[in-house]
């Protein structure tokens, strides 16, 4: 027979598992229809434990990106070509995704693209990426130009990922590369 939890002892929880459970719920019911209480119940944790790891519902969607860009550190663009071609090279060289990873990323990007509040919650992760790109661009550009180029490149990559999430015929790598090539070649 299970013993009831003692009051005051924190539950052990896996934030990655909780975020994954939340994404499954968002895909099944829709982002707006799912509450933090729903996520806690589906994750078999208390509401209090959930809020220990995730202050806002949007944070559940961005968990994977936060892990990749904030907790793991900024991307390293050393050893790639200068300028936007180096960013393209780095983006193309990412690890391959299996079918489940791709499905989850599509779902996350669909949610991000459809909800301005969720999109805005990713600013911290995007800023880490942008700063790393700005450093890369400073090798060949002035300070202002590097800031502008890095902001434009991050925007291109995010918009390409949101667009890709709603397509079936194109890979994320191809969508990202097409957007960055267009940026490189000018939009005129």
Q: What is the CATH number of the domain that holds 108?
A: 1.10.357.10
Quick: pLDDT tens for 104-142. 999 999 999 999 999 998 888 889 889 999 999 999 999
Q: Write out the E strands in the chain.
A: none
Same domain, yes or no: 44 and 86: no
Query: Containing domain of residue 43, as a range?
Result: 12-55
In a domain, 146, yes or no: yes
pTM value?
A: 0.83
Domain count for the chain, please give it.
2
In a domain, 96, yes or no: yes
Quick: pLDDT tens for 42-93. 999 999 999 999 999 999 999 887 766 666 667 788 888 999 999 998 888 7
Region of 186 on the Ramachandran plot (φ > 0 left; ψ -120 to 50 alpha; else beta): left
């Amino acid at each position: 027979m299970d013993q009831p939890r003692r009051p005051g002892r924190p539950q052990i929880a896996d934030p990655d598992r909780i975020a994954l459970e939340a994404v499954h719920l968002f895909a099944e019911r829709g982002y707006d229809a799912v509450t933090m209480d729903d996520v806690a119940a589906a994750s078999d944790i208390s509401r209090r434990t959930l809020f220990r790891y995730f202050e806002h519902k949007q944070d559940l969607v961005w968990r994977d990106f936060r892990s990749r860009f904030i907790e793991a550190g900024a991307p390293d663009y050393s050893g790639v070509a200068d300028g936007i071609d180096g960013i393209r090279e780095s983006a193309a060289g990412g690890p391959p995704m299996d079918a489940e990873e791709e499905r989850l990323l599509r779902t996350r990007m669909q949610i991000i693209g459809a909800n301005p509040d969720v999109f805005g919650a990713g600013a911290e992760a995007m800023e880490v990426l942008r700063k790393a790109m700005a450093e890369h661009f400073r090798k060949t550009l002035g300070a202002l130009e590097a800031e502008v180029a890095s902001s434009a490149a991050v925007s291109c990559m995010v918009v390409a990922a949101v667009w890709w999430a709603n397509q079936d015929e194109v890979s994320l790598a191809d969508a990202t590369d097409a957007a960055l090539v267009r940026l490189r070649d000018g939009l005129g």
